[in-house]
Amino acid sequence: MKSYNIAVIKGDGIGPEIVDEAIKVLDAACKGEDIELNYEEYLMGGCAYDATGNPLPQETIDGAKKSDAILFGAIGGEKWDTLDRHLRPESGLLRFRSELGVFANLRPTNVFDELLDASTIKPEVLKGVDLFVVRELTGGIYFGQPREKLEDMAYNTMVYTKEEIRRIAVVAFESAMKRRKEVCSVDKANVLEVSQLWRETVEEVALDYPEVKLSHMYVDNCAMQLVRNPRQFDVILTGNIFGDILSDEASMISGSIGLLPSASVGGLVGLFEPIHGSAPDIAGQGISNPIATVMSAAMMLRFALGEDKVANKIEKAVANVLRDGYRTKDLAEYGAKEVCSTTKMGSIIADYVAKI
């Protein structure tokens, strides 16, 4: 039997609820596959600050680095918004990514036929969308030095090295080789020197992948094209701040931010989490959608553990559950046969997994 150690960070708000359901589905998927997952829970975010005075305790860093993968919920909330910046939950997450060295954020977006009407975009524009955003995660304006806030002025600097660009480009091209072999690199090379270096470096990496078609697009045009014709994209490669914005825009194509997973990889240990936030306004009500976290768990199986067969089981089960009309409250008006609580949705997916 294969055994893996999974660091579990549930976080704040709805984080504990959705992670519990993902673990339920993981256990159902691994049963009978000679795979054992051992979970160890750690604190990060507002809950960690409340317990220790630190949004990212050293124990969490150490435990995560010893694990095979990290399953993460969500952090943050208004309760901690008045803290100094370095003590806020979000600062803990940024530092955590840096500690792990994860530099590539992977965000798939596809549209289930049963939920074509859930998006504000016309169904005929959405049908068949299957795109993959590769976002650089540890460089750019969020991390560039110097940075300073003065009384009447503040500034941040966008910085990328050639090596940082090269390594994220390799991830994008390798991803494209497993898909439709197209990469669209998104930048602002008409006005930013950083983007000019980005474009030059991406073109150099492209020479190693002659089978992949490379195109370039300015970020403002890409934002428009994602709404106008999202089917044109296969793999979108972009930097930190552009990727932050574009991947959230892409998420709304699916109709609910509660459906989409993400992976942060490339470092010591992969971090797998839903793209949505902690939603403290609905925490404890049992109405949050666990599917994004369940799908993040499937990405964990595939990208961190190499267990593609089990990942496929989970993804197929989610598709079948939606096909058969099970919905959480956020999707209740779109073909719902039954509106489920968070825990019931997790249980239904787990039951479907067991039948595959």
Q: Is 218 marked active-site?
A: no
d(CA 263, CA 244): 13
d(CA 307, CA 303): 8
d(CA 70, CA 97): 11
Q: Which of 20, 27, 130, 248 is catalytic?
A: 248
Q: Is 142 marked active-site?
A: yes
Q: Is 244 marked active-site?
A: yes
Q: Is 188 marked active-site?
A: yes
Amino acid sitting at position 281? D
Q: Which of 24, 188, 313, 329 is catalytic?
A: 188
Secondary structure of residue 76 in the 3-state scheme? coil
Q: Which of 81, 220, 308, 324 is catalytic?
A: 220
| Residue (of 301, 262, 33, 11) closest to 137 by Cα position | 262
Q: Which of 142, 181, 213, 218 is catalytic?
A: 142
Q: Which of 20, 27, 68, 244 is catalytic?
A: 244
Q: Is 208 marked active-site?
A: no
- Residue 293 has a CB neighbour count (10 Å cut-off) of 30
- The count of C-alpha atoms lying within 13 angstroms of the C-alpha of 106, restricted to the half-sphere facing its C-beta, is 25
d(CA 186, CA 249): 14
CB 231 within 8 A of CB 175: no
d(CA 347, CA 356): 15
Annotate 239-260 with three-state secondary structure. Answer: CHHHHHHHHHHHHHHHCCHHHC
Tokens of 73: 């919920």
Q: Tokens 């150099």: give the residue.
A: 204
Amino acid sitting at position 262? S
Residue numbers annotated as active site? 142, 188, 220, 244, 248
